[in-house]
Amino acid sequence: MSTQETKIALITGGSRGLGKNAALKIAQQGHDVIFTYNSKKTEAEEVVREIEALGRKAMALQLDVGNSKSFEAFAKQVHSALKQTWSRDHFNFLVNNAGIGIHSPFAQTTEEQFDQLMNVHFKGVYFLTQKLLPIIADGGRIVNISTGLARFAIPGYSAYGAMKGAIEVLSRYMAKELGARGIAVNVVAPGAIHTDFTKDSFDSHPEMEKFISSQTALGRVGVADDIGGVIASLLSEDNRWINAQRIEVSGGMFL
């Protein structure tokens, strides 16, 4: 495959968990990958090495998706990287994945917690995508990561679930407004998945795994490997006509 034909994906939060798994699956499909990390530089460098071992180009850039003031400079940095490494002005696929979890009952959620979730999960996706639009190729794709918690309610996730619900609405608007450029926008909504994101909850509530497994048609909690391939497949030519859809990937939770 020549450099011209190679597609490039940009994934936020590719140092660990679902973003890392998606980065590797996307590389396995023959695409090059730029991904971001927030604090885990060493983990990010290891992911770069894993992608390079697959024969693809990879680059890790630092980004705090909760700090929208940094997005313009980040977009410039991505553009320079595209020029230098790929001799191109555009990348093809954006995966808005980076995120944090805050578990807090509705009655006790503070404005600070709310704002943090808002900045990372909603404002960040909104304005980062906006700032990157000029360097996303026409005919590209965007995948936004939501959660099963935007469909069903588990106590303690009111702010998080609501921000992800907002992402699902935003994705339909993006699809409508970016369709003229041939850009398809879809949502992947994972169920409960074993990553660092859920580790504390599963560790401190051992009964949770049993409960979730019992409420999941396929009878277990998910793993990162259940998700990355779905994200990668939404970028494939075979799936080019899927647009403005929410695809829940939960093994059938709370049917």
**Of 23, 5, 6, nearest in space to 14 by CA:** 23
What is the helix (H) or strand (E) element at residue 92, kind and residue range? strand 91-96
Question: Among residues 92, 129, 147, 158, which is the contact residue for ligand NDP, using CB under 6 A?
Answer: 147
Stretch of 25-33, 35-43, 87-95, 128-136 contacting ligand NDP, by CB under 6 A: 35-43
Does 126 participate in catalysis according to the annotation? no
What's the min distance (Å) between Cβ of 137 and ligand NDP?
A: 23
Query: What whole-number distance in Å separates Cα of residue 86 and Cα of residue 96?
Result: 22
Instruction: From 247, 242, 246, 194, select the one nearest 221 (Cα to Cα).
Output: 194
Q: How far is the CB of 211 from ligand NDP (least distance, A)?
A: 14
Classify 222 as helix, strand or coil.
strand
Q: What is the contact mask toward ligand NDP in residues 149 to 178, using x (rule: CB under 6 A)?
A: ------------------------------
Which C-beta is closer to ligand NDP: that of 170 or that of 193? Answer: 193
DSSP structural state of residue 180: G
Q: Tokens 């009655």 — which residue? A: 107
Residue with tokens 């970016």: 178
39 scored as a contact of ligand NDP (CB under 6 A): yes
- Choice from 196, 211, 219, 225 touching ligand NDP (CB under 6 A): 196
Q: Using alpha carbons, list the distances in angstroms from residue 228 to 2, 26, 68, 217, 231.
A: 25, 8, 26, 20, 5
Residues known to be catalytic: 160
Q: Which residues contact ligand NDP by CB under 6 A? A: 12-19, 36-40, 43, 63-66, 97-100, 120, 145, 147, 190, 192-193, 195-198
